[in-house]
Amino acid sequence: MKKDITIPEVKNVTFAIIRKKNETDDFIWEVHLLNSNDFVLDNILVMSRGYGIVKEEKVETSTLRHFFEKVEANDTLLIEPIDPNLFVLNNEFALTYYVEGEIFFKKFMFTAGAMDERNLIKINILNSEGILHS
């Protein structure tokens, strides 16, 4: 039964939404997974969706699912580009991965309005500025 399954705590794994300039000098936004552990994450599944209220109407995006074989220790992984028009919504990323056959799961939420220029920080591992999920 579901209540009998113990899922260990996710540590040193998080998401960042960054902005960077493309070849035409325009800003583009991307979602990255950051693995700050000294071990590889295997069989990574990321589910992303946006939802919220805009102009008094309920808005929900499509749910996207991404599978990656692994992300190396102390490395990052590009998950998807993200349209800045979605920043008025809550953007949720559900992460599942394995370490040595043990499953890990956690949801990460970037709340509506969090992607404000005043909140951007330098994210050294990505050599970009953005929002790091805390």
Residue range 4-63, pLDDT digits in tens: 677 789 999 999 999 998 889 899 999 999 999 999 999 999 999 999 999 999 999 999
Residues 6+ positions from 77 with CB-CB distance below 8 Å: 32, 33, 35, 44, 68, 71
How many other C-beta atoms lie within 10 A of the C-beta of residue 80? 13
Assign domain 2-114 to its CATH architecture: Sandwich (2.60)
- Where does 22-133 show beta strands of DSSP type E? 27-35, 41-54, 57-60, 64-71, 75-81, 90-99, 102-110, 121-123, 128-132
Residue range 98-117, pLDDT digits in tens: 999 999 999 999 999 888 88
Q: Which residue, among 73, 92, 81, 90, has the nearest Cα to 34 in the 3D structure?
A: 73
Tokens 């808005």 sit on residue: 59
| C-alpha count within 13 angstroms, C-beta hemisphere, residue 49 | 11
According to the model, what pLDDT value does residue 5 have?
73
Q: Which residue, among 45, 37, 31, has the nearest Cα to 12 in the 3D structure?
A: 37
CB 41 within 8 A of CB 52: no
Ranges of each domain in the chain: 2-114
According to the model, what pLDDT value does residue 2 have?
64
